[in-house]
Amino acid sequence: MEHVISADGTRIATHTTGAGPVIVIVNGALSTSNDAADLADAFANAGLRAITYDRRARGDSGNALPAEPAREVEDLAAVIAASGGDAAVVGHSSGAVLALYAAGEGVPMAHLFLSEPPFRFGETAHATDLAERLQAMVDDGRAADAVVAFQREAVGLPEQFIEQFRATPDFATTLPLAQSTVYDTLVTQRTSTPSAAMLGVEMPVTILCGTETMPFLTGAAQRLAEAMPHAEFLEVAESVGHRMHPDATALIVAARVAG
């Protein structure tokens, strides 16, 4: 593990696996760099140098309040710069939203891969005060309430699924990530409909979508592809349940950035 220093002085933890063209992985909600370890290994086996990082307020990275998506853009820019500045980026879920937002803000990327980004295009958006309420829960020490509210209101998970998850040991692992729900809520809320700058990015863009995922994610990926006619759209049969299949994804990425 190494650290890079973001523009506001926050330490961002990174992990590097393999050698070759650089791929920076941007995780989705309620996850850390450890959750991308299998994907990083698959990239390394495909001849790539995979860099995973803990987005701020997660894992071994720091944080600075108030929460602001622009700070996460700076974090990603710092990770890319520290890697040598010639990196492709693979973003999954809210990480894909953040990656495209950063690209629209001018963060340099050699190629951008967007896996099932949850763009709502202004439809069925969560309450505008959700981020404020989540921050209040975190400040009051109510991490569990924040995680549940995020899953219910931002992600839209059914109550039965939430209750089942709360009864598992995995639920406890999400509690230290409660602050990160504010960041994910803000970035997806502010970019519910991608801006003209996001849609007009100049680097090659590949949009990935599993064939067995939540219907709204399929719809979002298809709408994004329609709004970005220069982008490549790929269905990945091996990716199911809103998870990137490591080997299948590595083959797709390596074919477009290696050599």
Q: How far apart are CA 245 and CA 249, in angstroms?
A: 6
Cβ atoms 135, 182 nearer than 8 A: yes
Helix locations, the chain, DSSP H? 37-45, 69-82, 94-104, 130-139, 143-149, 159-166, 170-174, 180-190, 196-199, 215-227, 246-257
CA distance 188 to 78: 21
Q: What is the pTM (predicted TM-score) of this model?
A: 0.96
Question: Cα separation of 200 and 98, whole Å?
Answer: 15
Per-residue pLDDT of the chain (259 residues; tens, 9 = 90+): 999 999 999 999 999 999 999 999 999 999 999 999 999 999 999 999 999 999 999 999 999 999 999 999 999 999 999 999 899 999 999 999 999 999 999 999 999 999 999 999 988 667 889 999 999 999 999 999 999 999 999 998 999 999 999 999 999 999 999 999 999 999 999 999 999 999 999 999 999 999 899 999 999 999 999 999 999 999 999 999 999 999 999 999 999 998 6
Instruction: Report which secondary-structure segment, H or E, holds 17.
Output: strand 11-17
Q: Answer for the pair 35, 27: CB distance below 8 angstroms, yes or no.
A: yes
Give all strands of the β-sheet with 49-53 in edge-to-edge order: 2-5, 11-17, 49-53, 22-26, 87-92, 112-115, 205-212, 232-240
First to last CA, the chain: 27
Degrees to nearest 5, angle at CA 153 with 146 and 29? 65
Q: Which residues make Cβ contacts (< 8 Å) with residue 202, sequence separation at least 6?
A: none
Which residues contact residue 59 at a Cβ distance below 8 angstroms, ignoring those fewer than 6 apart? 13, 32, 33, 34
